[in-house]
Chain A
């Protein structure tokens, strides 16, 4: 086991395309690090550079305390799991598992011991004599995992290993990945475009965009304190609602005004976000998570101090325990490059309503007890303690610790 350190790593493809741009990332010993971002953000390239499958154009990659820039993949002591499993079709499961060990001239007894252990751990014992073609997708995925496990490497590298599985299997494989990491404690770098996978699996998550590192933090911190509009829009499903607003101070304290609404901003928020007070009287971009809304009827008085927001539900998506309420607010959609990029990338389930005039579509996630129907007028309450403020020019989160330093 070892840490993996990337310092100022660049990848420039022929033709001048910069896939990875000055990436600095420290993956700690035994950590489960998830690289997430929209397609083309350079996350797979970064992983393949760690594996040694791509040349490093600039910077340095160290595994353990060894700089591996010029080591061939086989000498880096890492194992990789591929999206399409990449099993050898002409070998049985057993031979697939043993192949890497055989090539390393390991004694036969040790090979069969390790293969046996891995097969037992992954529940593959009865399939050892089968060829990959005779296995289901989930079983193949487990063989691919097993091939990495038997090597007992310094680190696992996984390139979207679950994206070829159906939704249900993906959830159960996610759980077994978690237990496996718990048990083996091997440093793991995991690439995915699925932010749910990133949130559920990662000890820490690294968000990339256009080859640039956006934010590295624990999943909860990414969700609560996104560093900029892109991270805010990319993480979380349904994604965050944005609006161009103005921060004002009137009688009764500070408030944020947009589309005819006025939401008071608690004093605590100003304390949490140093520098926010400088934006009073200026334009900002306001972000509200769908989960920070609640139906005032269903909230049942729990919403003391929350602000009421009368809206008309255009579309409802019932998810069983919750309902996504899509409603229009009377303000033009935020056309910041960061929000556009995040919306393109995120697997948004937005119903495409024809937007009449300059209106933007927001989503609120309310409790299913609300029983709201499309076309109904409902009163939403907003948790004003969780408002997010962004600079309209730079797209950076106002008052975020990482941005204060800049």
Chain B
């Protein structure tokens, strides 16, 4: 099975780019050719038949026509619903082709590779998966990912919700929301670097350049190497993620809170709800779908988290997560099989969340 597509990779960079452009143009041109020639009245001559004629040559011979005519009649006679199929196929083809090249083939290839050894030359069965679930260094990665997935969505939602409720209908609401939303504009890598400075360490006695250690020193403590000591260092990385994402949660949840009709809040006040009862029995149930959206997007985002860990620790000191380890194994250590196995496992983890999200959306649409 040759799924390497190496012929392109061996070319110089510019040629690679050119090949991509040519492939894209070819698809578009094919599409234009097919659509441009479509008859104005599909009933008189079904598109599929036209396509068949076209594909068989610009000037069909009598013999070809004789061959094709019954076929096109057949196509012309089937009900509209079924006749739409060939047209749909033509229209969908470019997207399907691109999806296939970009998604399906790599997915299949990754899955296949996950059953092979480091350089993809021999089958090893489930060895890579066994490694993932038994070897300490791999289990640590899974454990870290679990901590991330359990903590980040909950923390992000809680912080966002709290913030949204607290600033709701205050005088500084828009400023406050802009401030908390600002980190969203910073890339994960940028945020990682910023927070690396926050956590920076200088030996006791010398000037601290990290904010956190400066605070610790100011209160009479001794500076710590925050990112070096597991398992707390994972929590310090999680803080960065929460810092970035809390703004997103705030904005989404704040909009949902504003969407609750004022009369419902007033009715609850008349019914005698205290602020806490109001929050848990009226506000929270009313914005349930928005909370689910935040939880789900954060879960997915956390599962595939890579940048923060890569920038701040590179996965050292027991901080690695699946996505980071996948990259390390596949591209740094040359263990393609293990990297692929991690990728497949990540995919398996994300799938149920996506399924849940789609179900939710369908329910909401109903």
Whether chain B is bound by chain A comes out as yes
Q: Which residues of A line the B interface, CB within 8 A?
A: 51-53, 72-74, 78-80, 82-91, 99-100, 103-104, 147, 151
Cβ-closest 3 pairs across A and B: A100-B271, A86-B263, A74-B272
Do residues A78 and B270 form an inter-chain contact, with CB atoms below 8 A? yes
Which one of B263, B270, B281 contacts A74 once the chains associate, using CB atoms below 8 Å?
B270
Measured between alpha carbons, how far is A357 from B285 in the docked complex, in Å? 63
Do residues B261 and A72 form an inter-chain contact, with CB atoms below 8 A? no
Do residues B263 and A84 form an inter-chain contact, with CB atoms below 8 A? yes
Do residues B261 and A100 form an inter-chain contact, with CB atoms below 8 A? no
A160 CB → nearest B CB, Å? 11
Neighbouring B residues of A73 by C-beta, 8 Å: 266, 269-270
B276 CB → nearest A CB, Å? 11
Residue ID in chain B nearest A79 by CB atoms: B270
Which one of A86, A91, A103 contacts B261 once the chains associate, using CB atoms below 8 Å?
A86
8 interchain pairs (CB within 8 A)? A53-B266, A73-B266, A80-B267, A82-B267, A86-B261, A86-B267, A88-B264, A91-B285
Decide yes or no: A103 and B271 within 8 Å by CB, A89-B286, A90-B285, A90-B288 being known contacts: yes
Measured between alpha carbons, how far is A80 from B269 in the docked complex, in Å? 10
Which one of B266, B272, B274, B281 contacts A86 once the chains associate, using CB atoms below 8 Å?
B266
Neighbouring B residues of A53 by C-beta, 8 Å: 266, 269-270
Measured between alpha carbons, how far is A80 from B277 in the docked complex, in Å? 19
Measured between alpha carbons, how far is A99 from B274 in the docked complex, in Å? 13
Neighbouring A residues of B158 by C-beta, 8 Å: none
Do residues B272 and A104 form an inter-chain contact, with CB atoms below 8 A? yes
Do residues B266 and A82 form an inter-chain contact, with CB atoms below 8 A? yes
Do residues B266 and A74 form an inter-chain contact, with CB atoms below 8 A? no
Count of chain B residues near A, Cβ 8 A: 18
Q: Does B68 contact A (CB under 8 A)?
A: no
Decide yes or no: A82 and B263 within 8 Å by CB, A53-B269, A100-B272, A103-B271 being known contacts: yes
Q: Does B239 contact A (CB under 8 A)?
A: no
Measured between alpha carbons, how far is A147 from B264 in the docked complex, in Å? 13
B308 CB → nearest A CB, Å? 36
B264 CB → nearest A CB, Å? 5
Q: Does B353 contact A (CB under 8 A)?
A: no
Neighbouring B residues of A147 by C-beta, 8 Å: 267, 271
Q: Does B296 contact A (CB under 8 A)?
A: no
Neighbouring B residues of A74 by C-beta, 8 Å: 269-273
Do residues B288 and A86 form an inter-chain contact, with CB atoms below 8 A? no
Q: Does B293 contact A (CB under 8 A)?
A: no
Neighbouring B residues of A85 by C-beta, 8 Å: 263
Measured between alpha carbons, how far is A74 from B274 in the docked complex, in Å? 9
Which chain B residues in 286-332 approach chain A with CB under 8 Å?
Answer: 286, 288
Neighbouring A residues of B154 by C-beta, 8 Å: none
Do residues B282 and A88 form an inter-chain contact, with CB atoms below 8 A? yes
Measured between alpha carbons, how far is A379 from B266 in the docked complex, in Å? 56
Which chain B residues in 84-115 approach chain A with CB under 8 Å?
Answer: none
Do residues B273 and A80 form an inter-chain contact, with CB atoms below 8 A? no
Measured between alpha carbons, how far is A52 from B272 in the docked complex, in Å? 12
B136 CB → nearest A CB, Å? 46
A45 CB → nearest B CB, Å? 14
| Among B264, B270, B285, B288: residue with most chain A CB under 10 A | B270
Measured between alpha carbons, how far is A310 from B270 in the docked complex, in Å? 59
A109 CB → nearest B CB, Å? 20
B366 CB → nearest A CB, Å? 10
